[in-house]
Amino acid sequence: MKIDFAEAMRLATLSTRANDVVKATKIILHAVTGRPQTAEDDTAFSNNPVHGPKLHSTLRLINPDPERVEASPERQPSSVTPKTARPATNFGAVERSQRLRKPLGEVLRALRGGQSSSPGFPTTHAIKPPSPPPVPDGAQFLTRSFTCAAGTRDYKLYIPASAPDGPRGLVVMLHGCKQDPNDFAVGTNMNAIAESQGLLVAYPSQARSANTSSCWNWFNPADQFRDAGEPSIIAGLTRDIVSAFGLDRRNVFVAGLSAGGAMAAVMSETYPDLYAAVGIHSGLAYRSAIDVMSAFAAMRGLAELSSAEELDVAPEARPRVRTIVFHGSRDRTVHPANADRVVEAARSQLAPERDRLDRNGFTRGRHYTSTIFLGPDGVPVIEVWRIDGAGHAWSGGNPKGSFTDSKGPDASAEMVRFFLTHAPIGRTVV
């Protein structure tokens, strides 16, 4: 049976909207691989007379054939013209054979939390979740829970021993798929960095009932807006901690990896009054996707950013959220082009930067480039770190945790350094 790819994508989208991801995946796999259909596949294609509305979103696919994708300007069809020019992705001399070409089914499994053995994926993935990280004398690593109208999430809270007069601030850490707070705390070493700076660290835990692979649902419209869904839960527990410890909003930050990085971008966009800065590691820009299908495209580097008009927000009306980004050049789960889109989104929120600083470095066996954008007042407002040879893993992380790369710059230390640059000393309750 000959399958029309566009029709297959339409049917897969309808199945996704009906919350039948399994059927959507089968349809897509058949369309892409040409494998024999099951009876369920045949029914989906031949007996479905529905011609629902076309997918309406801020996403634009550059190439409809996922097996022939090259995420480079010269491969774009001439009929597709991006609204704005993209900053060039510069991750070193990456050969075309090393570009992201994962089969669609594998990417969807990654989106839903499956592991990958593709080149560039971390080889230090833990076989089983690690035990909680060691806690120094006087510090605490507590298990707590937060409930609001949108639901309940457990979280771990690290309270440092180094701040007897009260913590200086808070970092909210959002884990990736197939991770949990203990694993993420071990892998990022964030507790140790926070201890040295007198910071609290909160690790919200995604519920299996919300996502069977423990992914934050960054691609779900119900979880992309203020005062609704997962953003309202994360913001609510953040506010509880801020209130309990009398923290200054200027010292409240959010960061994440992969799906957690994408959700951190959601938090910075929907709660810019709550978070002073955001760290996005191997993640995606806000509303890069609005369902599983568009999430697949975004992860492969094929999504175009939403414009301010499409979001009904004027750029000059957006509060400033300082942003630091990390991404590996050989990330085969979330295409490195997404780092540029995160930076572009961050720059759209700011007044024109006064200056730009570029530097190259080498540490722990990895080359990297970092770009710093300075605001009109000379304060760094955006940093992007591009790490040559790194895959989908936390840079400079502890190999005892999952999805970590012990080589390269220490992302945790650099994030905290960036967060606290020009942050107030001590506590000033807002």
**Is pLDDT larger for residue 95 or for residue 172?**
172
**Is pLDDT larger for residue 395 or for residue 103?**
395
CA 363 – CA 149 distance, rounded (Å)? 46
Residue range 185-198: average pLDDT? 97
Q: What are 281's two structure tokens?
A: 């590691």
| Residue whose entry in the numeric block shows the structure tokens 């790369």 | 405
Specify the pLDDT at position 249. Answer: 92
Specify the pLDDT at position 4. Answer: 55
Specify the pLDDT at position 80. Answer: 30
- The domains found in the chain, sorted by start residue, are 5-84 (no CATH), 140-420 (3.40.50.1820)
Query: Does position 197 have pLDDT exceeding 70, yes or no?
Result: yes
Q: Encode pLDDT of 26-80 as tens digits.
A: 666 555 444 444 444 444 333 333 333 333 333 333 333 322 222 322 223 333 3
CA 32 – CA 260 distance, rounded (Å)? 29
Encoded amino acid at 67, one letter = E
β-pair type (140-148, 199-204) = unpaired
Cα 141-236-312 angle, rounded to 5 deg: 135
**Residue 111's pLDDT band (boundaries 50, 70, 90)?**
very low
Out of 149-153, 259-263, 375-379, 415-419, which region has the weakest mean confidence (pLDDT)?
A: 375-379
CB atoms within 10 A of CB 415: 27
Encoded amino acid at 266, one letter = V
Beta-strand ranges (E) seen in 296-419 are 322-328, 355-363, 366-374, 380-387, 394-395, 404-405
Q: Where are the alpha helices (DSSP H) in 246-307?
A: 259-270, 292-299
Q: Percent of the chain beyond pLDDT 70? A: 64
Residue among 430, 421, 133 nearest 253 (CA): 421
**Is pLDDT larger for residue 30 or for residue 291?**
291
Residue range 172-197: average pLDDT? 98
**Is pLDDT larger for residue 7 or for residue 56?**
7
**Residue 8's pLDDT band (boundaries 50, 70, 90)?**
low
CA 410 – CA 327 distance, rounded (Å)? 12
CB atoms within 10 A of CB 379: 12
β-pair type (322-328, 380-387) = parallel
**Residue 152's pLDDT band (boundaries 50, 70, 90)?**
very high
Give yes or no for a contact between 241 and 200, defined as CB atoms under 8 angstroms apart: yes
Mean pLDDT computed over every residue of the chain? 77
Specify the pLDDT at position 74. Answer: 28
Residue range 279-286: average pLDDT? 98
* Cα–Cα separations (whole angstroms), residue 396 to 61, 185, 198, 215, 250: 34, 13, 21, 22, 26
Q: Output the CA torsion sign for 218, 220, 221, 226.
A: negative
Specify the pLDDT at position 376. Answer: 79
Residue range 355-378: average pLDDT? 91
Query: Does position 309 have pLDDT exceeding 60, yes or no?
Result: no
Residue among 304, 339, 223, 203 nearest 270 (CA): 223
DSSP class of residue 250? Answer: G
Task: State which of 60-74, 241-255, 372-386 shows the largest mean pLDDT.
Answer: 241-255
Query: Does position 411 have pLDDT exceeding 70, yes or no?
Result: yes
